[in-house]
Amino acid sequence: MSDIAQDLADKLTDLGWMMATAESCTGGLISAECTDLPGSSRWFDRGLVTYSNAAKSELLGVDGPLIETHGAVSEAVARAMALGAVYRTRARASVSVTGIAGPDGGSHSKPVGTVWFGWCIDGLVFSECQLFTGDRQQVRQASCNHALLGLIKRLPEVP
pLDDT digits (tens, 9 = 90+) for 54-106: 999 999 999 999 999 999 999 999 999 999 999 999 999 999 999 999 999 99
Q: What average pLDDT is seen over the chain? A: 97
Q: Report which of 155, 130, 135 is spatially closest to residue 145, judged by C-alpha positions.
A: 130
Considering the domain delimited by 2-154, tell me its CATH architecture: Alpha-Beta Complex (3.90)
Residue 123 has pLDDT above 90, yes or no: yes
pTM recorded for the entire structure = 0.97
Q: Which helix (H) or strand (E) holds 68?
A: helix 64-70
Task: Give the three-class secondary structure for 119.
Answer: strand
Please provide the DSSP assignment of 41-60 as one string: GGTEEEEEE--SHHHHHHHH
